[in-house]
Structure formats: C-alpha cells, structure tokens
Structure 1
Amino acid sequence: MSREATGWAGKQKGLKPATWRVLMNLADRHNPDYGCFPDQGRIAADCEMSRRSVNNHLERLVQMGLIRRERRINPKTRKQMSTRYILGFEDDFTQEPCANTAHGIDQKPCAKNDQSRVQNLHTNLVREPVSTTKDFPAETPDPALRCLNACGPGLSEYSRSVIRDTDEVIHGWIEAGADLEADVLPVLRERTATARDRVIRTWDYFTQAVRARQTRREAQAARAGKNAEKQHVRSAAPDSDHVAYLARWINSGARVPPSAVTNTQRDALLARGLVSEAQLRALQIY
C-alpha cells in the first residue's frame, strides 16, 4: 500500500461512490517501488462487483484522466501479462494540458494541486495512451495480437485496451473449428474497416459473424469435395460411347481441336486400339 497513492485518491472529487471505490482499491494496491498491477478479478472481488462493472468504472477513470492503463506483453512468449495501472500522481503519468482543467463530462473544474496532475487533462475524453497494434510484429504467432493487427479504425484506442481482457473468446472460436486466416481475420477487417460511434469492449461482438463465415466456408468445402469426387469418377471411367464417337471423328480425317479430347479419353482411345499414337500427334493431342 502507498500512503501517497491513497492520499491522492482520497482528494479526488466528483466521482460516483462505486467509481471512487475502484480508484481507492487501485491506490491501496499501489506499490511505491513497483507500481499497481491487480487483475480485474481481484478488483471485482475486493469491490464486490462484477468484472463488467469494474471495467465500466475503470473506463470512467480513464476518461477523467485519473488513471492510465498500460498493457504489457512478455517479449519472449508474446503472452499478455497483468495490466499496469498508472495513477495520476505518478511521475510517468503524462497528460496534455487542458485549457479548462475539467475532469470530464459533467465534472466541475478541479482546484490546482501542486502534488497532483489531475488538472492536466486532455479534452478528448476517450483518449487512451496505450500502444496500438503497430507495436506488434505482423508475423506474431499469438492469435489475439494478430486479431488486433487485423482491426481497422472501427476498433478505437479505448476498445483496443479493454478488449484484451476477452482474448479467451478468440481461442473459443479456434477450438470450435474457425480458421484464423479464412474466417476470423477477414471478419475483423470487414467489421472494423470504418470508424464507429459504438465502443466494442469484447471479442464476442464478432462471434456471430465469425461463426456464419465458418459455416459458409465449410459448406463450400463440402460441395467442392463432392464435385471433385464426381469429376474423378467421370474422368476415371469415360463413357465408352463417347470414346467411340471420338474415334470415329478422328478416323474421319476431319479437324479435331486438341481441347476436344481429354487426357483420360486419349488414354482410353489408345488402350482400346481405336486410334494410333501417330494420329493423335498429328492432331497435336499428346
């Protein structure tokens, strides 16, 4: 626990009780030397609320400029590590100055405080200074990071920061048979191609579209397999009457285009002795 953190959090005004409770929980778990790294499950248990409610209150604190969330990735395994919560009083909590020094929507301007950086806010209330997918290599094997790479402007900076808490949805898609390249990534590109007003907080938002695309792909593959099997049967056993017809056409001396005789039909003509190899070569049927 950091006395500086809890003292700073206790001075913040204009917060709803539940939001203030989440902020105080973060401050209580702040370590002066290492920072603040509680997972959302722990915050939810301590504050006696659901993870969804915790996420909403964290979003509110971000919008008000009181905290910043920093997603961390293990450089070796590329797996997601616990989120670091940077509180407004910390030295590495950087904010652009706000002309009105207001906390956010419907908030009164805060008084100047030499020990607090809360007054240095930005007018963009949904600003989330979190690294975007540009920081992730395109060839990363992590499906979740590849999904982030695929998303366009329709997935806002804030959405990119909170959606990582639902990465298990992506693994569920893959376990259910969805193909990352053929089903998942195309859906994400299509659904986030343009900016949108609605905030996407979970990968489950795309589940229905991913499953629909998977179903179409599997149906097309099944039809293609049946058609290929039928074609193989026809090619393996060409109709004898048609082969005899081709033999009469070739032996008549008339012009026979090479495309009129398939390789299977050519082999059948030679095997049955209906034409000679020299006749076929003269017609450029090899």
Structure 2
Amino acid sequence: MRILVIGRTGQISTELLARLPKAGHQAVGLEPPEFDMTDAAQVAAAFAEYKPEAVINAAAYTAVDRAEDDRATAFAVNATGPRLLGEAAACAGIPVVHYSTDYVFDGVKDSPYTEEDAPAPVGVYGASKLAGELLLHLAQPRSVTLRTAWVCSAHGNNFVKTMLRFGKERPEMRVVADQHGAPTFADDLADAAIAILPRLVAAKAGDSCFGVFHLTGQPFTTWHGFAAAIFEGAAKRGQPAPKLTAITTADYPTKATRPANSRLDCSRAAARLGIAAADWRQGLDRCLDALLPAKESN
C-alpha cells in the first residue's frame, strides 16, 4: 500500500519510515519546512501527488511547557492539522491512524484510565490533543486514535536519552516517584499501526476497529522506577549509574501540570485490534543496545 506518514524525523515517524517498506508498503514522510499540515492547500496537494491508501499522523506539537505560552501553535498543529488530514482522507476514502496522549486526562483517577473515562485535560497541550482527536473523528469516522504515553526511542529527545546524558555528568540524580504510567517505545507504536493497516483499509465506517484506543507499554512504573531500569541497563553496558533519589512532583515544579496518573488500560486495543501492550523492558533493552553499542573486546 501507499502510506503517507505525517512526520519524518520524530520518534514514531522515524520508526514508521524504517519499518513500512519492510512490511511491503510504499511510504513517504512529510514535515516542515516543505509541508505544513495546518495548511489545507498543502494537505490537498500532498494527497493529490502521493495518492495514499492510508495516512498515519505521527506529527505533533509536544513541547508541553512551551504550549502554555504558545496556545495558537499547539492548537494549529495538534487540532487543525488532524482535522485537515481527516477531511482530506474522507474525500479520498482512506483511513487515518493518529497518535494522541495520556494528557487528555487530568491524572486524578486512582486506577488506569479506559476509553470510557471522560477526558479532562489540565493544560494546553492536552487540550489541543483532545481537540485533534475529536476533530479528526468528526471529519473521518474511519480513523483510529492510539493514545499513548512516555514515548521513548533511540531517536530524538526523550527520557532515556536525557537520563543517559545526565548519568555521565552527575554522580547523583533526583527523579520524580509519584507520577505513575508506562514507558512506550516508538518501534512498538509503529509496529502496532502497521499491523492494523490492512484491516482499516478494508473496513467500512462503523466497524469496531475504528475509534479511540489506549496503547502503552507494560507493566506500570514511575519515572523513578523507569530511571532505575535505565541505569541498571546502562551499567550492564559499561556506563555510569548515578545514585537515584526519589522526589515528589512538588519538588520538581514545571510550568504545565503533569498527570499524576498516566496509566492507561490497553485491553480494548487487544480485544478489538489484536495489538497488546508490549513489555517496555524489552523495548528499553533494544533502545540501550542502539544507543550504547557493545565495545569490541581486545
């Protein structure tokens, strides 16, 4: 199939563009400066030129703190962009796969969030992503939104790479231990989208494969627990492992509020789409192998 990937250098789009050809698909990735998903004319031109059979939107404005002062850009990219993609996809009669976030919830629930829970974003980023979900599905009901959290990979900027960098600079580190969730690796998210593409292309509107689904890694942990796993893996690969101190969210204030509970119940995706939450510890091993290649022995 011909797949149009919105995004080219992001964590998920990088994995998609590497994996789609291996799965037998033709893929093209588009992102600024040559492509602006918030411009209806450019979206229409891309559809006319590439004639995709499905679209995967892996692009987003993800600067959570900066979004608080840059609401217009966040909503343009995260809400207007998905709407325009949905409108173009509906006209072309093709499905859309879209990635969203745990930030659509306020994080106060004491158990994992399901798709039936009412969203209640507390910041601009989450509000813009929720608007994008709603506008996309209104424009093109033959869409799938995969809400995820704590995305990491060997590419781009993420928690794993930040921890490894700081680990080389600091003998001790303080990491938040009262925010709960599950790391999710970009290659797993790319594989999930690729796995469901054939069904989405064949399915008609109203099929149970369309809609909003939660998909993260498993098992649940905290940022502190994740950091400990990162440094345990780094130590096995000959890298420094600083002493970790658990702190609270209040000890590390940020401009935008982070959800205390980012745990997402992924059972619906497993039941309806056949894609299960992947073990993030295996993803971490793959990521560390890519970032910390073994030294050749003498």
Instruction: Output the TM-score relative to the length of structure 1.
Output: 0.22
- Between Structure 1 and Structure 2, the one with more helix by share is 1
Q: More strand per residue: 1 or 2?
A: 2
Task: Pick the structure with greater CA Rg.
Answer: 1
TM-score normalised to structure 2 length: 0.22
